[in-house]
Amino acid sequence: MDDIDRAIINRIQSNFPITSKPYHTIAQELNISEKDVLNRIQNLKDNQIIRRIGANFVPEKMGYVSTLCAAHVPDHLLDSFADIVNQNKGVTHNYIRDNYYNVWFTIIAPSMDHIETFLHTITEQTSVHQILNLPATHVFKIKAQFNV
């Protein structure tokens, strides 16, 4: 990764250009070609430095709800549990922690009833019964910008 890659990463984290040609805008700012920007971003994705590029929305402002879930999953079920959780398009994060509740994930859905149904389905499909539904009572939003 060179200085241009770092500049691209820093530029696309926040205030992504809302134009018909955002990568062209970034290219102009960095004094390189649009093709170079696109190739570099693809390379960063291929090397798993960038996972995805996409918008973040405030679920409540769009009429949705979100929640954090914590599950106690036996080691031998971790992969299958994660696969089933990840099948839901509303799951935004899913990760393992070194804790009794070792799998944590967040989900966005049209209602808490949808989330409860999803959690019930997970329990039926995996036999994992210890899943905590931890909806936020107050959101403290921070701007996560990492200067590379």
H or E element in which residue 81 lies:
helix 78-86
Between CA 1 and CA 47 the distance in angstroms is: 10
Angle at alpha carbon of residue 66, lines to 61 and 71, rounded to 5°: 170
pLDDT of residue 104: 97
pLDDT of residue 52: 83
The first and second tokens of residue 43, run together, are 């390379």
pLDDT of residue 30: 96
Using a pLDDT cut of 70, give the percent of the chain over it. 96
Q: Is the pLDDT of residue 143 over 70?
A: no
For 48-81, write each residue's pLDDT tens digit.
999 888 877 788 888 899 999 999 999 999 999 9
Between CA 133 and CA 110 the distance in angstroms is: 16
- Please state the pTM of the whole predicted model: 0.73
For 109-142, write each residue's pLDDT tens digit.
999 999 999 999 999 999 999 999 999 888 776 6
pLDDT of residue 53: 87
pLDDT of residue 142: 65
pLDDT of residue 58: 80
pLDDT mean over 8-12: 93
Q: DSSP readout, 2-49?
A: -HHHHHHHHHHHSS---SS-HHHHHHHHHTS-HHHHHHHHHHHHHTTS
Q: Which whole-number Å values give the CA distances from 14 to 11, 34, 42, 94, 145, in the listed order?
A: 7, 19, 18, 23, 7
Which residues, including other chains, have CB under 8 Å from residue 36's CB and lie 6 or more apart?
4, 27
